[in-house]
Structure formats: structure tokens, C-alpha cells
Amino acid sequence: MLLFSKSLPGRLKEVKFAGSTTFSKDGGLDQLGGGFPADHMKPTMLTNPAMFELRFRHICTMHNKGETEAVETKALELLAEPRLGRVHKAGTHMILATSETDLVHHSLEAVRLFGEALLGEMTASQRASLEYWHAEAKTLLEEARSDQSAIDNEINEKFKSGMTMRQLQDAQLSEMYERLARIDEDEGASAETSSAAPLANMRKFENSE
């Protein structure tokens, strides 16, 4: 649930992801469970699992840059993929656990999925990496529960002040529409920037003739 949470102090701590299938804490890209490390791929290897890897890495990059709203949109799209692997699911849920929507749910899913991944056979380095991120997910879960409690208390205060359920829902919808509008504006600005460079180069070429 998203409402009024942006004003809360002490949001979930910043988590930096290496953007690899195993989320190696030293930035390594050990292969796990059929993953395809992106920097070892060739264009001819862009099968579905490899494409999921690329999409996840892109989400990690946006997350590390603080692009919260775009991250949430892209992460939810990735989770909707029926063939997404367990470890990618865990990492995506963990990223979403640092956002402002369904904190506890995403933290719980990250803990569960990393825990399930640890039940399989793997190398010592792979296990150490997964154990590290499993522990990080548990920490996020504790913080998410604390933050969710604060959000619930804030909403209860709104009710006590006279806000009705309808007004609460209207406020949520209004905030959602504002976020979507900002995303559209950002994407439009990005498209204009990307198209401006080729146009400028073409004009330089025309002027030189």
C-alpha cells in the first residue's frame, strides 16, 4: 500500500546490487541455476533467461542511480514473467522491498526465494554469495515491518483526524496518477534527448558541405 510513506524517516537502507545472477557481494558474475552472466553473452545467446538477466541488470543500474519510480515499474513487469527464475525473482523482490509499496510482502518473498535457492547444490563461493543476500533480505524484512507499522500508524492518525476511507482511496489514486505522469514526462524527456543528438550531427554535416 502506498500512502504518506515518503515522509517517514529512516527509509529502508540503500542496497547496492552488483547486477549479476548470483548478486555476488564482490561484484563477481558466477553462474547459478542456468543463469547467463551478461558480460559473457553474445547476441546469438539472447534466449529468454539471458534477456531476463539483461533486464535485471538494467533494473539494478536504475536502482543504484536512485530512479525509484522507474525501477518499481520495470521490476513489477519483470516479476510478471512466468518463466523468470527463482534467483532473479528473489533479487527483484529485494529491490522492490526498498521502494514504498508492499514492503513486507516483497521482503518476505526475497527471504523465501533466497532460502529455497540455498537448498540446491552449488559451489562454496555461490553458497557464500547467496547466504550473504539471504541475510540482507532478512534485514530488509525487519526494517520493512518497522516501516509498515509506522505507515499504519500514520494512516490511523488520518482516520482519527476525520478522513474517510473514500478520501483515503482518492488520495492513493491521486498519488498514483502523479507518479505515472512523472514517469511519462521522464520517458518523454529521455526520448527527446536521444533524438536530439543525431539531429545535431546531421546539421553539422549539412553545414560542412
Going by pLDDT thresholds of 50, 70 and 90, the confidence category of residue 168 is low
The answer to whether residues 106 and 173 belong to one domain is: no
| pLDDT over 80 (residue 173) | no
Q: Looking at per-residue confidence, does 132 or 66 come out higher?
A: 132
The per-residue pLDDT for range 101-129, each reduced to its tens digit, is 788 899 999 999 999 999 999 999 999 99
pLDDT tens-digit series, residues 20-61: 444 444 333 233 333 333 444 443 344 477 888 899 999 999
Indicate whether 60 and 141 sit together in one domain.
Answer: yes
- Provide, rounded to the nearest whole percent, the portion of the chain with pLDDT above 70: 57
Instruction: Report whether 56 contacts 87 (CB < 8 A).
Output: no
Where is pLDDT greater, at 189 or 195? Answer: 189
Q: Do 66 and 31 fall into the same domain?
A: yes
**Which pLDDT score, from 0 to 100, does residue 145 have?**
84
Q: Quick: pLDDT tens for 76-105.
A: 999 998 889 999 999 999 999 887 778 889
Burial group, residue 35, by CB count within 10 angstroms (0-12, 13-18, 19+): buried
Handedness of CA 145, 150, 155, 156 (dihedral sign): positive
Of 158, 177, 199, the residue at which a domain comes to its end is: 158
Residues 118 and 195 placed together within one structural domain of the fold: no
Are 186 and 146 in the same domain?
no
pTM over 0.85? The answer is: no
- 58 and 122 share one domain: yes
> Is residue 133 packed enough to be buried (19+ CB in 10 Å), middle (13-18) or exposed (0-12)?
buried
User: Is 176 found in the same domain as 151?
Assistant: no
As for how many domains the chain has, the answer is 2
Total Cβ atoms within 10 A of residue 150 = 16
- The whole domain housing 53 covers 5-158
Task: Indicate whether 12 and 48 sit together in one domain.
Answer: yes
Report the pLDDT value the prediction gives residue 39, as an integer from 0 to 100: 40
